[in-house]
Structure 1
């Protein structure tokens, strides 16, 4: 049943303040991805699984990332809304899939704040041994929340400065490997090796492809630019550019230093067996002083990532309030805009409060809950772009991906492989898939039993972004 929305929202619809340039959106998006954090925190997991085959794992993930970036760019140029993925899916696939996507994202984004913040203590311990990781994470989250309330343009420059520092750290790591290589690039390309029970041997394609699933996660975040669509000038064109540039920069910023580490490590067995691979590499190549400086830069990068993710998540929480997803009083509060800064200040405080509390949860639990939910969101977006072309709900998009429908179809195949690999893992992957399915069920029940019965999920947005008729089905 067709369920059109009014072409112009009510005058009282809360609206964010425009004025952010595409560069500012790009800086915040890259900060949320945090290439340095990915290289120092996520990449070691890829190396532990695939050995020197991690080079190919990151390369494969980059190809999948390009296809997903095309999907994100087309959808975001049609609907550059602060609700992000859920607002897009609801307008292209229907309200039920949209709210299920919201359920996945809302929980995942709040948990990711804590997951990333917990990494700060790890790298600050080089200066202050014995720090409590949860306490440091909570303090980091509170500080980032307070910064997030300021004007979005101020935060764009704050994140830009921090981002420059982490990029310098990555350049140093890359230089340490490329200027003093212990092996040739041909060894990585043609003869990748992996450690199995302490014995180094050839890395199979299955192992490399399985590790690519983790590498995909390390690139994730380029689509976050859409959350600032209501604050970015000329968003219909600018957000697509920000997404594509964010992915390109991220691939280079992560693949190059990872390759340098694999080329420059004095001993691959020692690298594979190190408790902290990156600290081992930097310490072995440049000594403890440089290792300390790099560790502090990574701690700052993690703080920057927490700040950027709170900015992103608070926009989504604001959008849920504007769309009346919760009881009236809660929705009204979450949709409040600060009169001076033009930011969703109550949504920001709520996001920070939940993120701070979750810093004291078990980290393994946080990782299991968040591990596969992004895969489900990616699947929803691929289906959304296919359906958007079919039913015309994205016909007004300013960006159209090349070679459609190759990108979403190839991405769906790759995501199917990731799901299969997770299903084969009884310790981590399978529980994560079950939790993801559970979140989908609970979100669907809330929509069916609460929102649909009261007929009060409004899918609002700025008038210039809602001028097109909403063709999503209920």
Structure 2
């Protein structure tokens, strides 16, 4: 079949997306059971991972106490993008996150490129945090019971182990929850997020006892360059706010709920990060942060003179990673669900179980692949590949806001970006600023991955595109029965 530029950049009409997702009729393929509180916890849960527990050891030696401003700068860049997500989520409230937004604004070929970014972000980061879970689980077991899981069963082969069993168990537990139902998963996540917020608040309250203004006296020893360099390191502690946008078809009143949840998550996460950082840098000299692997727990141990804070913070990290893994696997399955509905990947990923109203085959396939990555590949390689996929997806969302304002100004929007068009332009510049500092090998691997995704599109996606064939996919049950 000959390909023309018009075909490669064909856009999926937003009214068609709204009809498929049941945004205006309430008849969605998935069940709308998630409310504002649960959705806000999605955003907070996916964002507050282990980064804040340990990132200060990398960031403070670069910026000194002025790392507080680094968190503000990173939060502003992430916030600009989150605001753009909020507008698109209210205008196009469907599953698929920025893949669906790109399909509506930039066209089919760019949408496939964005999908590759999202699959990299969600799939690889799920494996990376699952690998980290075994480390913190061992720390918790050691603190409470005085034993650890042997390296052969808690490390990847490259690190001297055989198989990372705890990481695989974590993926399995998350998968069982997700198969059971979106509402149950959201409720479980909300409980875990409240616990990890409580752990960080505990650090703030106890850490204030060690406040010493002298630790803040040499505030910016490395100047503006140190502050901006640290902001690049810290930025990845804000990744996860986009997870809210993957739940578009399971949210009650999505046009209002989705932008509100994104903004609530942004404010909560930024406030927590800045307070934790302020207390941490005031509680000990900035020179003590270098190579301080225990992070916040080491600070509390100094302040309180007790060892129990290490146990509490290890427990917080274990719960935190469980929550992140749950949401990230959820997001991955919903992106694939939207792609299958469009014909970009096989229909199996769009098949919904009639009892649980969840895409069960999709979830199982994703879980198996993530479990293999988590069980066999070390965390440092996995973590490096998460960042660039996220930033490119952020970039596209900011562009998409401007495109949709021009092509569909009449669309109902539950939220509009303030300061338009300055806000999305600043978001684009912020993402490019961080991308330029990424390692060359990360960019090359990303480009190879993007080439593989585009090859898939030209071999399979273009020919099976429902938009190209003017087809519309209905609900497909596991039992191949009639649509409900």
Q: TM-score, normalised by structure 1?
A: 0.86
Higher mean C-alpha deviation, range 133-142 or range 448-457: 448-457
Query: Matched residues in 2 for 1:147 and 1:268: separation?
Result: 42
- What do you get for the CA RMSD once the two structures are aligned? 2.5
* Residue 42 of structure 2: aligned partner: 28
- Cα shift readout 1:78-107 (whole Å, capped 9, x = no counterpart): 111111110111111111111100011112
CA contact (8 A) 2:51 2:237 kept: yes
SS at match of 1:125: helix
The 5 A counterparts of 1:174-213 are 174-183=204-213, 187=217, 191-192=218-219, 202-213=221-232
Aligned residues: 439
* Residue 346 of structure 1: aligned partner: 361
- Cα shift readout 1:352-400 (whole Å, capped 9, x = no counterpart): 1111111121222212222222111111111111111122277332321
Query: Matched residues in 2 for 1:433 and 1:217: separation?
Result: 16
How far did 1:288 drift?
1.0
Query: Matched residues in 2 for 1:393 and 1:99: separation?
Result: 25
Q: Which runs of 5+ in 1 are unaligned?
A: 194-201, 423-428, 464-474
SS at match of 1:18: coil
Q: Which runs of 5+ in 2 are unaligned?
A: 1-5, 156-163, 476-484
1:431 to 429, 433, 441: 441
Matched, 1:166 2:196: yes
- Cα shift readout 1:331-370 (whole Å, capped 9, x = no counterpart): 2221121222211222111221111111121222212222
* Residue 125 of structure 2: aligned partner: 112
Matched, 1:92 2:99: no
* Residue 240 of structure 1: aligned partner: 259
Query: Matched residues in 2 for 1:257 and 1:115: separation?
Result: 24
Cα 1:268–1:207 shift into 2, 3 Å: closer
How far did 1:275 drift?
2.8
- Cα shift readout 1:409-451 (whole Å, capped 9, x = no counterpart): 11112222212222xxxxxx22112222222232223223432
SS at match of 2:251: coil
How far did 1:404 drift?
0.2
Q: TM-score, normalised by structure 2?
A: 0.84
How far did 1:22 drift?
1.6
* Residue 279 of structure 1: aligned partner: 297
* Residue 469 of structure 1: aligned partner: none
2:377 to 346, 349, 361: 361
Cα 1:405–1:346 shift into 2, 3 Å: same
Query: Matched residues in 2 for 1:301 and 1:163: separation?
Result: 7
Query: Matched residues in 1 for 2:436 and 2:30: separation?
Result: 41
CA contact (8 A) 2:466 2:472 kept: no
Matched, 1:221 2:234: no
* Residue 401 of structure 1: aligned partner: 417
Higher mean C-alpha deviation, range 120-129 or range 449-458: 449-458
How far did 1:14 drift?
7.8
Higher mean C-alpha deviation, range 46-55 or range 234-243: 46-55
CA contact (8 A) 1:36 1:254 kept: no
CA contact (8 A) 1:17 1:230 kept: yes
Query: Matched residues in 1 for 2:472 and 2:277: separation?
Result: 43
Matched, 1:51 2:64: yes
* Residue 450 of structure 1: aligned partner: 460
SS at match of 2:250: coil
SS at match of 1:231: coil
How far did 1:46 drift?
2.5
